[in-house]
Structures are given as structure tokens and as C-alpha cells.
Structure 1
């Protein structure tokens, strides 16, 4: 099997333990014939971060989310000042980019492999109950050798292998596309440009018809 590009959503590491774990995940992916790409870590661009992420996602077959502790709050409050206020203790939050990039990947049909550090607040796309399996692990390379991780990785990899072969991911010859498919494949700017051109052509046709019939 040829190598596949995969997007890895992970924030900048804060500790040696986190860095060691992320490198272990990257090495494991490479050993499986998967090439990890992370904006600002191993892939760089002069464009804005969001644009770089967009371009990377469009060139990858799947996405790995590594949610590690970014922020820590010993004490806090949920819905502070309201009737449903509740205390928070030892809150650990991952980078918000995990949420953003996971949502962008899912919208593209990417199979998701989600790895969450134990103790991270489970919310949004990092909580159970979605279309992907959440693995809660200690950020240690040994976590990548468990039966659970190996099984989930194998299942996720099979989805990657199959995805490029689906009709949805194989580009068609423009002459083979229906009008609906052509319109659906256009970016908003391209669609508005097309509509503007059509409007000008229609107006011109009416004007020409008026001249022709007016002269009879």
C-alpha cells in the first residue's frame, strides 16, 4: 500500500512528557505507512493558520486528534452568577484548535482517531457519543501498545485505505459531472461569479430579442 497523508491536530507541547508522547504517536503512524502533518509543527506556510489547516485537510485522507492539557484551573465555577452555578475543581482543558480542526475534518468526511489525555474536560467533540471512538490515555508511549489502541488504530486505518477508493473522493472528469455536481463543487466566489455571468447573458439576450422583434 502506498503511503497516505494524515492530519494530526495537536497543540504546541508544554512538557517533555507531552512532546515524547506526540513523537511516539507520529512514529507509530509512520510505521503504519501514514505521514503525519501538523500546521506549525512539521508543515509551515506563509498563509494564516486557518488557511494552512484547510489546505492540509484537503490533502489528507484522515485525521488524528491528540488532546493534551493546555490550560489548568485549580478552582472555578460553571455558569457563574446564575441559578445553576456549580463549582469546578482541577479543570484541565485542551487547545481549542482540537475542536476546530476536528470539526473541519469531520465536515470533509475524514475518519477520526481521537486520543484524549486522562483528566481533560470531556466536552464538544472530545466527549463520547459521536461517530468516533474516544480513547482516554495517559500521555505515555506505553499507551500506544495496548490492545485497545492497536484495535482502534487498525479499524481507523482500514477506513483510510477504503476512503480514497470511494466515488466521493475520486475526482471526476468535468464532462462527466451533472449540473448539480458542478454547482456543488464550486466555491462560493466561483458560484457568485457564474450567477453574475448568467445574469449578464440573460439580460443581453432579452435586449437583443427586443431589438430584433422591434425592427419587424
Structure 2
């Protein structure tokens, strides 16, 4: 009960090691009563990917960006042909969707946590120095047991809870009328949800009792 949806930005995994790492993060979130949602992984839509991402974020209380190696360049050139041409070697880059989804999460005001696979280029919104903490870690489930990860997760989770509280307070009666059933259930406290379920059960029971008397 009282679970929070969390948008997880992660590309399709390339290796079993990456997949195990992502699954470990998802399992850890679930153990914290946080529900990981990723478009194309566990959430699907007939709409365009960007629209599906936006809708998913609107129902989320936080975002985690998992930047894994997608592209590898053993050799290359930066600013090729120019006076500042520079040789590059052993460069690893994450999916550009990490940048897009991080920007959307930030524009939505969602608390953000960034996890970058060790060796992947930290650039754009994956760089340190923004309003969120960037962890560069090995893509191994054991990483989730470190003091750094546990501390950052705990701090970020408090921000998620604060965001959800502010989100609830910002709803007025007109806003509540626009909520989907899933969104409405998400903002209820467990005691409120149980009270509603009990009331519904009583109504259904009463309806059957009246029906049996009228038509029995």
C-alpha cells in the first residue's frame, strides 16, 4: 500500500551483467514501496515513445536515470577537421534517451537520482554539478549494498515523499475530478483506501440484499 510510481530511464540492456544490474535496482525500489516504470520495458503504449514517457512521468513521484554503455568507440576524433581537432580513444556513451528523459523529469520538478555505469561518458545531464547526485558505479548488484548508494537512495526517497505530499496538497476539487482511477488510488493513505473499499463492499452487499427482497 501507499506505493509511489518511479520513472526509470534505462535503455535496452546489451549483456546479462547489465540486465542483472537493472533488475537489482528495480527489486530494491520495490522493496522500498516504489514501483519502477520504464517505457518499452514494463510499461507499453500505442502512443509515440515521447508521449508515453510524458504520461508515465505525470503519474510518477521521482525519476532514476540509469546510464549504461550503449555505444563504444575504440578510436575517434572530436571536432574533426577543425583547428581544435582532438583524438579520442576508448569512449563509451549511454543512450540519448537518458538525456531526453532526464530533461523531462527536471522540467516536471521530479526528484532525480543518476546512476552512471563506470567508464560511460558523464556529459550533459549526466554530469556532476546539477541539482542531483551523480554516482559512477560498476554495473554489479553488489554496488547497491554500498554506503554511498544507500545514503543517496535514502536522501532521494525523502525528496520523493516530499514531492508526493506537495502534489497531493496542490490538488483542488477540480483537479481531483480529472484524476484517473490509478492516480486517485496512488494519493490515498492506506487507511483512506481501506475505508473506501469497505464502503464499496457495504454498498454491493446492500444492493444484493435489496435485489433479493424485490425479486426473490
> Shorter chain as normaliser: what TM range?
0.7 to 0.9
CA distance in 2, matches of 1:169, 1:43: 27
Measured against aligned partners, the alpha-carbon deviations of 1:131-151 in whole angstroms (never above 9, x if no partner) come to: 100000000000000000000
1:89: which partner in 2? 89
2:191: which partner in 1? none
> Structure 1 stretches of 5 or more lacking a match?
176-216
- Give the 3 Å change call, closer, same or farther, for CA 169–130 of structure 1 in structure 2: farther
How much does 1:30 deviate? Answer: 0.3
> Structure 2 stretches of 5 or more lacking a match?
176-216
CA distance in 2, matches of 1:162, 1:171: 15
Say yes or no: does 1:140 pair with 2:154: no
Question: Normalising by structure 2, what TM-score?
Answer: 0.78
Say yes or no: does 1:3 pair with 2:17: no
Q: Is the 8 A contact 1:5 1:34 kept in 2?
A: yes
How much does 1:174 deviate? Answer: 4.6
How much does 1:167 deviate? Answer: 6.0
CA distance in 2, matches of 1:170, 1:57: 17
CA distance in 1, matches of 2:59, 2:36: 12
SS in 2 for 1:88: strand
How much does 1:122 deviate? Answer: 1.2
Say yes or no: does 1:34 pair with 2:41: no
CA distance in 2, matches of 1:169, 1:91: 46
Measured against aligned partners, the alpha-carbon deviations of 1:164-192 in whole angstroms (never above 9, x if no partner) come to: 222686222459xxxxxxxxxxxxxxxxx
Measured against aligned partners, the alpha-carbon deviations of 1:1-42 in whole angstroms (never above 9, x if no partner) come to: 711000000000000000000000000000001000000000
2:160: which partner in 1? 160
Say yes or no: does 1:98 pair with 2:98: yes
1:44: which partner in 2? 44
The root-mean-square deviation of aligned C-alpha atoms, in Å, is 1.4
CA distance in 2, matches of 1:44, 1:169: 30
CA distance in 1, matches of 2:169, 2:43: 23
Q: Comparing both chains, which one has the higher relative contact order based on Cα–Cα distances under 8 Å and sequence gaps of 6 or more?
A: 2
Larger-gyration structure (1/2): 1
2:24: which partner in 1? 24
- Give the 3 Å change call, closer, same or farther, for CA 167–74 of structure 1 in structure 2: closer
How much does 1:96 deviate? Answer: 0.2
Say how many residue pairs are matched.
175
Q: Is the 8 A contact 1:67 1:95 kept in 2?
A: yes
Q: Is the 8 A contact 1:29 1:36 kept in 2?
A: yes
CA distance in 2, matches of 1:145, 1:115: 14
CA distance in 2, matches of 1:173, 1:28: 35
Q: Is the 8 A contact 1:115 1:137 kept in 2?
A: yes
Question: Normalising by structure 1, what TM-score?
Answer: 0.78
1:55: which partner in 2? 55
SS in 2 for 1:135: strand
